[in-house]
Amino acid sequence: MPTLLPARKSGFTLIELALVAGIMGLVAMFFYPSLMRLVSTDKHVQAKRLVRTARDEIVGFVRIHNRFPQSLAEIGHGHDPWGKALEWELAPNLTNATNICRYCGTDMNATIHGKKVTNVALLVWSTGKNREDDVRTGSDCQVLNHEENYAPGKLFDDVVEVVSLAQLEGWLGGHTSQDCSDPDLLVCYPMNNSTDVTKIEDYAMYALHSTTVNNPQPCLDRFGCPGGAYDFDKDAQQYALVRDTGRYLDAGTDDISVAAWVSVWGPQVQNPNAPSRYYGAIVGKGFLANADGYGLLTSSKHNKHRYCFNFQIRKDYKNPKFVNSGSFSQYSVYDHQWRFVVGVADRDAPGNGLKIYVNGQCMGEADPTLAGPIIDPQAIPFSIGNAYGYEDHVIPHGVINRKFYFNGRIDDVQVYKRALTAIEVETIYNATRSLYR
């Protein structure tokens, strides 16, 4: 009878276990560094995404609150993928959101991977894998030192987002707080300075760019932004005009609304036919003349140092219809305050369809009824800072335009082919009085 061998117990021998452990060790030796690099890379990608999101949320916070956050915790940001809080720094002269455009530059610069960024407004960064803050700011001009100024042989692994002053201005609305997308806009002039100061660009549908005459100068706008508005000097006879060959700006029988931000800087032009009157033409076409037209102006009576705003429409040279914003002594020509002025002609509302608004409030009403459509047979130019446009141009009935040049600053000019409602005027005012919409 054959002898039965004893059954083998289940399991591995020591030799087998040692062999498996050796194989696993070899695998780990070859693949562990790659695996760790993948983990590290993933964390680096997460950090870049987190830092960029924090940057964007700071900008969004400023849009809503008109100030910078006190800390990143205020916008809901905590720690980076390595467990350390994000860092951020604001250029020292940007103490609040409203003064961003008051500076042509900042005192902070950055060098990232050999590329220098000047006029840095904002920095956001993660300290990286080594959890050491490798970003340095010195006391002299707040210069940010990166790789080439870092300790030789030491890895710079911070994840940094740098925002220049120009980027921040652009993201926050820049010098243009005006919405030019309304389909009823005939012209829309943000009045921002461009490389070609001989023209003021129109951003509405017809692109009716205006030509400047006698060099009105780009100046600070109501936010303190350089080049965000234009300064018109009456003594230098400065203005801008559009030769409206397509006749887009003839009002005809349609409703019309004219809007502009205005800052008066001194007495206006005396009317030679009525020496007690002083006028400053802000914007319009064929107004303050014996022609068909409409326009906004300042008006003084007896005291050239005080004024009110006026909106007028007219048919030919007879019986112009106009409305004042108040008494002729309403404002001082020396207060230099920016005011949002809107003239509205609702031709379907006899009795009170002619209105003028200042800073969103209706300040006067009048009858808009005219003898016929506002159609200028001579194609008089649309003008900014002047009532007419042509030099020595004889208008119907032999009357020569008296050139009521404006003395002050103008920004954000708009003309609509509809009558703006009171709610629309107030909405536009609230949307454009702040730098950040």
341 vs 402, higher pLDDT: 341
**Residue 4 resides in a domain:** no
| pLDDT score at 424 | 94
Within a domain: residue 6?
no
Q: Is residue 33 part of a domain?
A: yes
pLDDT at residue 308, rounded to an integer: 96
pTM for this model (two decimals): 0.65
Domain ranges, residue 66: 23-171
Band the pLDDT of 370: cuts 50, 70, 90: confident
The CATH number of whichever domain residue 255 belongs to comes to: 2.60.120.200
Flag whether pLDDT at 144 surpasses 50.
no
Give which of 345, 352, 299 is closest to 326, Cα–Cα: 299
CA distance 295 to 313: 7
DSSP assignment of 310-340: EEEEEETTEEEEEEESS-TTSEETTS---EE
224 and 165 both lie in a single domain: no
Residues 6 or more apart whose Cβ sits within 8 Å of residue 170: none
Asked whether residue 363 carries a pLDDT value surpassing 70, the answer given is: yes
Same domain? 245 vs 336? yes
pLDDT confidence bin for 347, thresholds 50/70/90: confident
State the residue for tokens 């600070």: 220
Q: Are 238 and 338 in the same domain?
A: yes
Is the per-residue pLDDT at 131 higher than 50?
Answer: yes
pLDDT of residue 376: 66
Of 139 and 146, which is predicted with more confidence? 146
